[in-house]
Amino acid sequence: MALDTASTSKRVPDAAINGPAAVTAKKRLARLYAAIWRWHCIAGLLVTPILFVVSLAGAIYVFRDELEPMIYPELFVVAPQAQLLSYGELVAAAEAAYPNAHAEYIFQHRDPAHSLGIHMHLSETEDLTAYVNQYTGQVLGMQDHSSFFDWILSLHRSLFAGLFGRLVVELMVGWSISSVLTGLYLWWRRSSGKPGRWWVRWAGKPRTILRELHSVLGAYFAIVAVIVMATGLIFTYAAGTLMLGSLAYSGQLPASYIRAPRSAAAAADATPLSIDQAVARYQATGNAEEWSLFIPEKPEQAFSFTTNSSHDLPKMRMAWVDQYNGTILDDLRWNMLGLPAKAALYFYPIHTGAIYGWPTKIIAVLTCLILIGLSISGVLLWWWRRPQGKLGMPGRVNEQVVPKWMVALIVILSIFMPLMGISLLLVLFGDWAWRRWQRARNNQPSQS
């Protein structure tokens, strides 16, 4: 058996071997590791409740297209037939079934066994979607915003709390991304400065196994988790507005996308096109399996067609048809978009896992479940290691020098996630004010 010389001989100082510069570098890395561990721990505990809810709702929503016909077969499933009724007849049937509403949009699904959806406006705060059998004209029923998947989407985006909830979710997503990235750094560097383990050692105490699961699964799914969360930011209030505004300001979005083309001024006796005439004009210039149609309500508006092709973005198309003379006012295709605009359109299918069908949907769901597992395991590890009766947070690190690359990364993340950036500034200001107050208090002369 080899003798452990480290425990039986006098330890030679690191400075005698590597020199003072090496010891200073080691201390800097050790302090940086401790500071990042503190941020990782605090951020993880703060985001866990909301990350759990948002991830669980997201995992369910991924399979909306597959699950909705199973949950509501009476609304979505029809028997295909050789002959379709005209869209005018189908809209008339829906408006007759719901006389207090008028049709705004038509949703044509690519599956012939899926019913036709007609979005209808009731009031400023109330809408519904009627589902009509496109072969028989039978109105199958309707859904408002209280359907199961609308409920799930509202939970996922805003926690049922409106704009305030959206801001809270956006803030927590920003800090979740920060928590995942700091966790990846902690796994890569570890306290020893060497990369972490690539596999879990199943022999050991439950706490040790859970710690390795937390570390290894976090390392494997870190990049995927960051991509899934980051692509969802385009649907948030602050970050989404910033992204779309930047694309518009830099000229990356076509003018028609920002401001829809208008129909030409019509003569007093002009008769608008019927819905079927507009559809025929649109399909004559390039058919699409799945599309939605906005029905103009005002004289200056145009029929607006959009292909629903998140599963096949190169087939993306937006077209506007003059409601009086049938002129194609504009026809946007995939190859007409710049690279930034194309990248932004990929955010939704990447975020929902729809980009390559079932395989990527499974990866998206697995990522959501891994995020839930990492959140819960992180809380458990903190709870088990904390001293009895104390909070057990890692201590504050003094005299910390942050590397330039990390400062640059923080600045970039704060620009793309402005709410996180603002909250970070508030935290840093609060920490500075607290330390200043403590120093002033400690330097006060004692009162006799």
Q: 167 and 55, same structural domain?
A: yes
* Token reading at 217: 């699964």
Q: Which of 262, 277, 272, 386 is CA-nearest to residue 324? A: 272
Q: Which pLDDT value is given to residue 338?
A: 87
Q: How many CA atoms lie within 13 A of 213 on its CB side?
A: 20
Q: 51 and 179, same structural domain?
A: yes
- pLDDT (tens digit per residue) in 49-87: 999 999 999 999 999 999 999 999 999 999 999 999 999
342 in a structural domain: no
379 in a structural domain: yes
Q: What's the chain's average pLDDT? A: 87
Mean per-residue pLDDT for 378-398?
78
Per the structure, how many domains does the chain have?
3
Q: 173 and 50, same structural domain?
A: yes
* Token reading at 325: 């003379």
Mean per-residue pLDDT for 341-356?
92
% of the chain residues with pLDDT over 90:
57
58 in a structural domain: yes
Backbone phi and psi for residue 237, each to the nearest 5 degrees, phi listed first: -75, -60
Q: In one letter, which amino acid is 106?
A: I
Q: Helix (H, G, I), strand (E, B), or coil: what is residue 46? A: helix
263 in a structural domain: yes
Q: 324 and 179, same structural domain?
A: no
Rounded Cα–Cα distance for residues 320 and 414 (Å): 38
Q: 175 and 26, same structural domain?
A: yes
- pLDDT (tens digit per residue) in 125-181: 789 999 999 999 999 999 987 889 999 999 999 999 999 999 999 999 999 999 999
Task: Please give the radius of gyration of the chain, using alpha carbons only, rounded to the nearest integer.
Answer: 29
pLDDT band at residue 315 using 50, 70 and 90 as cut-offs? confident
**6 pLDDT more than 50:** no
Q: 162 and 125, same structural domain?
A: no
CATH at 305: 3.10.450
* Residues spanned by the domain of 275: 255-336
Q: 261 and 330, same structural domain?
A: yes
Q: 169 and 55, same structural domain?
A: yes
Q: Which pLDDT value is given to residue 273?
A: 94
* Contact assessment for residue 285 and residue 328, using Cβ atoms and an 8 Å cutoff: yes
Q: 329 and 265, same structural domain?
A: yes
244 in a structural domain: no
Q: Which pLDDT value is given to residue 431?
A: 78
Q: In one letter, which amino acid is 225?
A: A
**357 pLDDT more than 80:** yes
Q: 214 and 172, same structural domain?
A: yes
- pLDDT (tens digit per residue) in 13-44: 444 444 555 557 777 777 888 888 888 998 99
Q: 79 and 53, same structural domain?
A: no
343 in a structural domain: no
380 in a structural domain: yes
439 in a structural domain: no
Q: 48 and 174, same structural domain?
A: yes
- pLDDT (tens digit per residue) in 370-385: 999 999 999 998 888 8
